[in-house]
Amino acid sequence: MIKSLSEFKQAKVQAEENPGGFWSEVAREFHWKSPWKQTLDYDFSIPEVKWFIGGKLNITENCLDRHLATQPNKTAILFEPNDPTGEVQRLTYKELHTRVCQTANMLRANGAKKGDRICIYMPMVPELAIAVLACARIGAIHSVVFAGFSATALAARINDASCSMLLTADGGFRGAKTIALKEIADEALNSCSTVNCCLVLQRTQQEVQWNFIDKWWHEELEKVDDNCSAEVMDSEDPLFILYTSGSTGKPKGMVHTCGGYMVYTAYTFKNVFQCQPNDVYWCTADIGWITGHSYIVYGPLANGSTTVMFEGVPSYPALDRFWEVCAKHKITHFYTAPTAIRALEKHPTSLVEKHDLSSLKVLGSVGEPINAEAWHWYDEHVGKHNCPIVDTWWQTETGGILISSLAGVTPQKPTFATLPLPGVQTVLLNNEGDEIEGEGEGILAIKHPWPSIARTIWGDHERYKNVYFSAYPGYYFPGDGALRDADGNYRITGRVDDVVIVSGHNLGTAPIENAINEHPEVVESAVVGFPHDIKGNALCAYVIVRDMGVDSISIEKEIREEVAKTIGPIAKPDRILIVSGLPKTRSGKIMRRILRKLAAGEYDQLGDISTLLNPEVVEEIKRQNS
């Protein structure tokens, strides 16, 4: 573990001068069934990236078996159910190992084998993590689909990867609601011909329909034992597919491979969060999202840490649930998204203050840029000015954190993700694709592979090349803009694909949003372009205000003045809509594609909005528009 700023600087120099040597040193700490012959081979123009070539391993031996000798009785997974009075489960490393082996045998007994794709559509219960690891145990490629997604979204993902098996549950608890997962899965499977086995976990005990491919999870488990040899995997064999939304609407199945993903997620978990042996680490994400894969399951378990799984939502049964859980389990590390912080920040701080948060040592943020107000609220009310905040920038495509401070080791700077981690060679490019030196603002790009970069898009390598490697040849292009201060710290400014051309001027929507957010009444905003007869495009701003009862005429005027002042009159939005929410993905990202369609009045082209966190705001916006 990196323990000082000088060790960090040293690691950065080593990783840059000799990436192969640096990462092979890190990788040696793991259990390999046979060693790799070459550390790295890559060519961004194909594009092709391979790490630890020829190495053989199984990631579950590193996450489970490896810890059995040293800490069999340590809690691996601490499960906090949706219902605060429900049963907390503590699975030790030994118990988790046993259950993963049993479940892996259940999958094998039902025909699953290495290389098969298995779709997992489950609530946030321990069996979800167990299922993920069971797939990895037998070399089946897991494709987790978030349990809030619709039948259409689920079917599209199952079909894209030709999954042969579906793992689901009768239902799931989420706040005051239950979600009829089996029913949704049944509907999806009507249009999926590749699935020949559906294993159903009993969670809610609700009634379900039964089809000939269905089997009860608990009945199948009884038929198998808990001896399960781990499949020998090549370092470059796929470990999982995870879908992420693309600008066209068709989701991209990002493919991650075994060796590099394991090494990088373990290394970054250890160094960014600085977990000590008795710490209790809680990442509030869902396993249906990359943050859950890398920093609830694989990263923490590879390090032998205790990782919390939370089934519920921040607002149930009340808006203090996060803080209640922190106090209840003496959480030391709390990792959440700015969208959650902003939602909670709108409510009285007494909700936080009534809980004893003195166990907290480190706070984390992920998913979008964290604005100054949310950062300071988090620091003051949750961290009591006593917990470093790691603002971690990364993507589904990157597998692990690329830019972040190391908790308590490297300096933090509010609203800045700060410095790239060792081995991450970031650059800023101008519009011509030339590297900017020193302080500046531009397009973020990365000029050397790190071990957990996604290797392809499932079934569409051409799209992988086009999206990430074509705009700026020789670099990986993540699609985000950033600014860099004189010390090399990065602040991610937002997506660079959100550019609107108004009367011939290229306007990034992110800086306009930042200007709007300066208004004290504004909580959040999103700006999109829509067709305009004269200007070509005009701007529409959707704005959430602190108090819906405010005088909207004067706020609109003040917002236009603020934008004119900070960016210029050309950037003044034509239309400003005060809304109660913005359409967001489950991981808190604003769906600008939908806002663009709404602004253009193309209501019939919204696509599948059921994957949204809050599809109801779409109706609200339609009403306001008319």
Which span sits near ligand 7RM by CB under 6 A: 55-63, 101-109, 351-359, 387-395?
387-395
Query: Which residues on adjacent β-strands are paired with residue 440?
Result: 484
**CA 429 to chain centroid:** 25
Nearer to ligand 7RM, 65 or 497 (CB): 497
As given in the structure block, the two tokens for residue 23 are 């990462």
Find the binding residues for ligand 7RM in span 475-534 (CB under 6 A): 478-480, 492, 495
Q: C-beta of 403: minimal distance to ligand 7RM in Å?
A: 8
Q: What Å distances lie between residue 340 and 489, 584, 601, CA to CA? A: 25, 12, 30
| Strand segments (E) across 412-511 | 426-429, 435-436, 440-446, 456-457, 480-484, 490-495, 499-502, 505-508
Nearer to ligand 7RM, 204 or 514 (CB): 514
One residue of 396, 405, 509, 525 binding ligand 7RM per CB under 6 A: 396
Burial of 162 (0-12, 13-18, 19+ CB in 10 A): middle
Q: C-beta of 285: minimal distance to ligand 7RM in Å?
A: 8
**CA 273 to chain centroid:** 16
Q: C-beta of 35: minimal distance to ligand 7RM in Å?
A: 31
Question: For residues 334 and 362, is the Cβ–Cβ distance under 8 A?
Answer: yes
Find the binding residues for ligand 7RM in span 565-604 (CB under 6 A): 587
By rule CB under 6 A, what string of x and - marks binding of each residue 228-267 to ligand 7RM?
----------------x-----------------------
One residue of 395, 410, 509, 525 binding ligand 7RM per CB under 6 A: 395
Distance CA 559, CA 516 (A): 6
**Residue 393 touching ligand 7RM (CB under 6 A):** yes
Nearer to ligand 7RM, 160 or 368 (CB): 368
Distance CA 512, CA 603 (A): 25
One residue of 417, 502, 594, 599 binding ligand 7RM per CB under 6 A: 417
By rule CB under 6 A, what string of x and - marks binding of each residue 361-380 to ligand 7RM?
----xxxxx-----------
**Residue 312 touching ligand 7RM (CB under 6 A):** no
Question: For residues 352 and 320, is the Cβ–Cβ distance under 8 A?
Answer: yes
Which span sits near ligand 7RM by CB under 6 A: 161-169, 353-361, 392-400, 535-543?
392-400
Q: What Å distances lie between residue 566 and 24, 79, 571, CA to CA? A: 48, 47, 9
Nearer to ligand 7RM, 245 or 566 (CB): 245
Which span sits near ligand 7RM by CB under 6 A: 306-314, 371-379, 461-469, 472-480?
472-480
Strands 141-144 and 238-244: parallel
Residue of 553, 544, 545 lying closest to 583 (CA atoms): 544
Nearer to ligand 7RM, 320 or 498 (CB): 498
Total residues at the site for ligand 7RM (CB under 6 A)? 21
490 CB-near residues (< 8 Å, 6+ apart) = 393, 403, 416, 417, 418, 419, 420, 426, 444, 482, 483, 484
**CA 294 to chain centroid:** 8
By rule CB under 6 A, what string of x and - marks binding of each residue 273-302 to ligand 7RM?
-----------------xx-----------
Q: C-beta of 38: minimal distance to ligand 7RM in Å?
A: 29
The footprint of ligand 7RM (CB under 6 A) covers 244, 290-291, 365-369, 391-396, 417, 478-480, 492, 495, 587
